[in-house]
Chain A
């Protein structure tokens, strides 16, 4: 099973709302990622969790708050977003054995619209 699931599929929120994106994998992967993707562009890395600890934060604004409750789950909490934050948010997971960079498996994404 190489499936990463994400919910919700679509989300519309106002600039004062608080919402959360959820991601789940059951491949036994110990690294999980959040990416932001704008139309016709490659994904941009936001956060990396390794063994449930935040290992990379790509200088993401604090209105995005990641959380890794356990090795299978990854959340992204959203608060006071701006219209320019509208994008496809992708979750991914991979092995993490420290010897090389492994292939990442992506979820279908959450299409976020901030009004």
Chain B
């Protein structure tokens, strides 16, 4: 079945460091891909999305490119801030099931 694999956390970075959170997927067909962010005590917020191969989603300095050849959707940010500390979930929209399939989540901690 469809699945998403994220790099295990926690990821600890200093402020202004470069961030990469790896995400790979297994799916039949051409799923939509998403990154969500969850701050402590809150719900999930849509961070960015891509609906077809080579699409680049971007928002708030975060970027991710839909790479069909490597079945990946890695999240990047050039310079993280303390306020980016949160849990990040990669997800795919499964055409087979009509559901969002989530990765296990990656906790990011940014230190000043």
| B66 CB-CB contact with A under 8 Å | no
| Cβ contact within 8 Å between A42 and B99 | no
Instruction: Please report B residues at the A interface, Cβ cutoff 8 Å.
Output: 31-32, 34, 36, 42-46, 49, 51, 87, 89, 93-95, 98-100, 102-105, 107
User: Would you list which residues of chain A between 49 and 71 have a CB under 8 Å from chain B?
Assistant: 55-56
| Cβ contact within 8 Å between A42 and B45 | no
CB distance from A106 to the nearest CB of B (A): 4
With beta carbons under 8 angstroms apart, the residue of A4, A40, A90 that contacts B105 is A40
Residues of A within 8 A of B43 (CB): 4, 6, 90, 106-109
The 25 sampled A-B contact pairs (Cβ below 8 Å) are A40-B105, A41-B104, A42-B89, A42-B102, A42-B103, A42-B104, A42-B105, A48-B99, A90-B43, A92-B44, A100-B93, A101-B31, A101-B93, A101-B94, A101-B95, A102-B32, A102-B93, A103-B32, A103-B46, A103-B49, A104-B46, A106-B43, A106-B46, A108-B43, A109-B42
Question: Interface residues of A: mostly helix, strand, loop or mixed?
Answer: loop
Give the contact-size bracket for chain A.
20 to 34
| Cβ contact within 8 Å between B44 and A106 | yes
| Cβ contact within 8 Å between B44 and A90 | yes
Alpha-carbon separation in the docked complex, A101 to B46 (Å): 14
